[in-house]
Chains A and B, each alone.
Chain A
């Protein structure tokens, strides 16, 4: 939410318009997504004037797993792949956390959380290895591994249960300084800052974009395409693991079936956030912000006393409309030429 101010402030400074145009050209989602989020927040406040820190906190908590699922999907999409097992990896890490932390102390829980992050990265590594070595299309591989991880999650915890120490839950459910900055918001920002930003700034970040935009060209320039694709899946697994742990913090338990929703919605948020399915374009901030927009919609519907089940209809329609709108723009531009 803080990104809104940063990107919107140049809007009213005239001389910097050229720079803004260039910025918009290179990072369209960094302008449109904060704007869309600001609009949906404004709409929320308009229809629900008594919007307070409690609502903001529940939004942050509700959106956290989705934001991380979107981030995980975005990394893989940027590298030119796709990961339809994100939700199941979240579920595995979620039940792992809930099953192992139930009787642990706070310190142990933190260590366990680190171990689960490693486990998530391993799940991602398995995805990556199969995609790279089997040469089976990534959609098929991850659709199937998603099914397998679902079985693994059921194996760890047959039905919703488990738990974690109260202090650990407070990391996500509590707040920092003011109730407006909830722990889950900080967690998402930290995950993006600690995991993605160093990657994006490093050689690997460049390679991810290179491989995503043109595998053959990247290969001929001496890029290890297979290693790069593999690492993208590992990063996806790692971010999913953070999502799974975050889900424990916000719900207090582990649920083996909780993940299903996050695969589709995470992909939706990634696409909405400006990541290209053909790879090589987009970032992570856009998808993360899109996750908050997608979470706001059902909340707004509750404020409006509309059946919140419409939320899914609207989420689906939003994706369809956004991608169709994108296609229409392309069609019109093509005709002009």
Chain B
């Protein structure tokens, strides 16, 4: 597909030809191109503020990227099947809050309470999208509002049960072991491996691509599309709940707008990572690099010490430029 769209004219100068070849190479190895971009960003930071890029800095970047990476995993799965999940931020917040208010029950029980939010909202999303064929955007928007509202009501009813973040969640979200390996990487790495291998090697993984590519064709070839989509949204909900636990471990305070800031990056990381929002194309490897790029970008803006509004504008603008460049490159 990419070879046919070769823009370099045969009669062009040598420079044009090599530029065309380079573009083609980038098209074929998009994840590698993203890695180059990531390295450029890191190099840029080192140039602007020399001495920033140290092993500690890198380990911090991974530490901050992990929750985003986990959220992006769920978002990738959903987008591959042609959907989108706008309830991930609310689910992550609710999961963190529910875990924190049940921390007195012990570590396993409180984590299960948190994950139950992801399961419940994921199920509702799944039933709506898979069985009743509601547009994923509206469905997840509605469940997001519902989750947020329910959480506010719950928080006011449970004033006695003040949220408290248990120490093991704190070390999950902010701790490091073995001289600098972030603990959340120990959680993120297996998740990433399962998603990466699962998407490539298992039947379910391929079905996500297939359903996203052509739902009718899947239906006609005997795939139970609704089961695939239901699984997809439940997985996304669960991953969002896990991410919520990591996020609250990092901030050590379960508040009502904890994960709101992660909604845009969770979508942006996947888009920058080359997964098509229309489904069927992309993969998790790109999303991982996308999450790292966004985290490095955030760190760069922090280093520049720009005021919050300027930061927000720059962050958004760079995401747009990256997404536009990527769309141009791959279309």
Contacts and interface: CB of A to CB of B under 8 A. Distances in A.
Asked if A and B bind, the verdict is yes
B76 to A, nearest CB: 14
B179 to A, nearest CB: 37
B327 A143 contact: no
A101 interface: no
Contacts of B156: 307, 309
Nearest to A312: B149
A330 B268 CA distance: 33
A140 B137 CA distance: 12
A137 B275 CA distance: 12
Contact of B84 (A135, A139, A155, A317): A139
B309 interface: yes
Given A327-B128, A331-B132, A151 B331 contact: no
B10 to A, nearest CB: 27
Main secondary structure of the interface of A (DSSP, over half): helix
Contacts of A323: 128, 132, 134-135, 138-139, 142
A154 B134 contact: no
A171 interface: no
B311 to A, nearest CB: 7
A152 B43 CA distance: 29
Given A145-B316, A155-B310, A316-B146, A278 B135 contact: yes
Contacts of B127: 324
A324 B132 contact: yes
Contact of A319 (B142, B148, B277): B142
Nearest to B313: A151
Interface stretch (B18-26, B91-99, B159-167, B317-325): B317-325
Nearest to B325: A134
A166 B179 CA distance: 63
Contacts of B132: 323-324, 327-328, 331
> Interface residues of B toward A: which range?
35 or more
Contacts of B320: 130, 134, 136, 141, 144-145, 148
B158 interface: no
| Contact count band on A | 35 or more
B323 A134 contact: yes
Interface string B290-331: 000000000000000000111111011101100110011001
B150 interface: yes
A234 interface: no
A293 interface: no
Given A139-B277, A307-B153, A328-B132, 11 more contacts: A130-B324, A137-B271, A140-B323, A148-B313, A148-B316, A151-B313, A154-B312, A323-B135, A326-B134, A327-B128, A327-B132
7 cross-chain pairs, A with B, having the tightest CB-CB distances, nearest first: A312-B149, A151-B312, A327-B132, A316-B146, A316-B145, A148-B316, A313-B149
24 contacts: A130-B320, A130-B324, A135-B328, A136-B320, A136-B324, A141-B323, A143-B263, A144-B319, A147-B319, A148-B312, A151-B308, A151-B310, A153-B309, A155-B309, A158-B309, A271-B138, A309-B149, A313-B150, A315-B145, A320-B139, A323-B135, A324-B128, A327-B131, A331-B131
